A and B are shown apart, each in its own frame.
Chain A
Amino acid sequence: MIRLKNVFWQRARKQEKPVLSDLSFSVPQGGFRWLLGPSGAGKTSLLNLLHIESLPARGDLEILGKPVSADTPRATLVRLRQRIGMVHQNYRLMPGLSVVDNVALPLRLQHRPEDEIHDEVHAILKWVGLGERIGVPAANLSGGEQQRTAIARAIVHRPGLILADEPTNALEEPQAHKLLDLFDELSTMGTTVLVATHNEALIRRLPRPSLYLERGRLVREGE
């Protein structure tokens, strides 16, 4: 689950205006939330904060049942990050690595056995339609293929929390629908899912509660 109570976040300590202001909401385990709002509303900043790429300046943040603050031991933060799957807007793939090595990274960093990694990665790449592209370097992939690789990497280790920033903007509609169905299925299996999007067609296809941000504040929450 995710829980925020009066959370503020700003890029630099001396910066006067926080990017995220007084955010309070919670998403239960297995919950699915759309994260909506105009460009610059703070959606990406919120997702990065929930991915523990930075820490809140103020307020209480709880991710997967663990409090996250400057006092949280680094080992705990590492373990939490290992339980989060993040799809970045710019994919953040390792350009020099092949598709298979990119997707295998989260598992290898958790020291999973290579045969287990082999099976998991093979299955997920087949599912995202990259079964024939496994040896291609990420730098040589099309935008859609990079996005699918990033999605595969985000879910291959079966995370407890999936954060996705515009995960379908480079995908064809059928692939986008297929991905949404997967996220929905994962949430029914207990994975908490938070998806930032501008795509209203997707939201109409999968009506789920949403969080609406404006200028770093939560202005609407609900269906």
Chain B
Amino acid sequence: MALPFSGRKDGLSLSEALPDRSLFILVAMMSFLAALTLTGATGARALSARWSGGAAQLLTIQVTAPDHVPDGAGSTKNATQKTRADLVVDALAALPPGTQVHRLNKEELAHLLAPWLGDANNSALPLPAVIEVRLPAGTDSPPTLEQTLNAQVPGTVVEHNAEWSSRLRALADSLLACAALALAAVGGIAALITALATRSGLSSRRDIIRILHGLGATDSYIAGRFASRTGALAFGGGLLGTVLAMAPLALLFRMAAPFAATSLQTATAAMPSWDTLPRLLPTDLLIGLAGLPVVAAFIGWFTTQVMVRLWLRGMP
């Protein structure tokens, strides 16, 4: 007659000692918060990188009455007369080598101003020329650039991104630090919740553990059984929390997409369509979100290992 062996049975009945619902739901909530925080951190890091990189090297120059030809501009024979905008572009050639100068064309300008003016092509308002200047990395614009340009083309306005980019970068770095602290706090709370659940499970299984200990069960075995259970619960909770967080994250990203343009040429006020959204999500964020359940499982597993082993130290 065959004995009815049925897998590993040691009497711990951890499904009863560590009930699914409480730990699972709490870890799901923690993971939801962590996913949102992670997204904030990713956004802050991206902004910090942008403002410390390309954006700081960007100048925006506005030339009013761009198509007006000043008196005495250009040569007097066999040459095209130069407009105010052309003169500014010519003057910008004196900037360091590698500088990219681009005057926004009518379509780009209309696209940029659409949120304020609607169809700017049909606007009766006189529009300035907008020239985007991207300096090479490590170079600064001459401090007298605006004066120099104004001497040639009065009324030219130069906006130096570098002036406010350092403040914005500091703000983004602060946000990043806050996000890191929030993530650490969420992890700490998750560890605390797991520790409390484990302690409760240990209390309810005190006698069973003593029997197993007396029969020669190692600390690794007992801690491993508890840790596998909490690790699995935390993984499930982490997965649920992350999946639930995807809906608000997608919404946020869709709303934030217009502000993520890297230059005036690509700036748009329109929100991307839902089907193109997954392609817009940063890869590092997706990797971070995918790793959340694993991190939750590790926190649960590790915390339980420590708790159970410390508890077992009370027995020889």
Contacts and interface: CB of A to CB of B under 8 A. Distances in A.
A140 to B, nearest CB: 15
B4 A106 contact: no
A109 B214 contact: no
Interface in B144-173: none
Interface in B198-253: 207-208, 210-219, 221
A97 interface: yes
A128 interface: no
Contacts of B208: 94
Contacts of A92: 207, 210-211, 214
Contacts of A106: 215-216
Given A86-B214, A109-B212, A109-B221, A54 B316 contact: yes
Interface string A143-180: 00000000001000000000000000000000000000
Interface stretch (A23-31, A117-125, A200-208): A117-125
A94 B8 CA distance: 14
Contact of A118 (B3, B210, B211, B212): B3
Interface in A9-33: none
A3 interface: no
A118 B9 CA distance: 14
Given A55-B316, A74-B219, A104 B5 contact: yes
Contacts of B13: 96
A82 B316 contact: no
Most buried by A among B9, B208, B211, B216: B216
Given A53-B316, A78-B216, A81-B216, A100 B11 contact: no
A57 interface: no
B315 interface: yes
Interface string B6-25: 10111101000000000000
A184 interface: no
A78 B218 contact: yes
Contact of A97 (B2, B3, B9, B217): B9
A108 B10 contact: yes
A134 B6 CA distance: 13
Contacts of B6: 101
A210 interface: no
B216 A53 contact: no
Contact of A100 (B4, B210, B213, B315): B4
Interface in A83-137: 86, 92-98, 100-102, 104-106, 108-110, 114, 117-118, 121-122, 134-135
A105 B10 CA distance: 7
A41 interface: no
Nearest to B215: A106
A109 B215 contact: yes
A52 interface: yes
Nearest to A94: B11
A53 B315 CA distance: 7
Contacts of A64: none
B8 to A, nearest CB: 7
Contacts of A97: 9-11
A217 interface: no
Contacts of A141: none
Nearest to A74: B219
A77 interface: yes
Contacts of A74: 219, 316
A105 B213 CA distance: 11
A58 to B, nearest CB: 15
Given A109-B221, A121-B3, A53 B214 contact: yes
A43 interface: no
21 contacts: A53-B316, A55-B316, A74-B316, A78-B217, A92-B210, A93-B211, A94-B11, A94-B211, A96-B11, A98-B4, A98-B9, A105-B10, A105-B215, A106-B215, A108-B8, A109-B212, A109-B215, A117-B5, A118-B2, A118-B5, A134-B4
Given A109-B215, A121-B3, 18 more contacts: A51-B214, A53-B210, A53-B214, A55-B316, A74-B316, A92-B214, A94-B211, A96-B11, A97-B9, A97-B11, A98-B4, A100-B4, A105-B11, A105-B212, A109-B216, A109-B221, A114-B5, A134-B3
What 7 A-B pairs are tightest by C-beta distance, nearest first? A94-B11, A82-B216, A81-B216, A101-B9, A97-B11, A55-B316, A106-B215
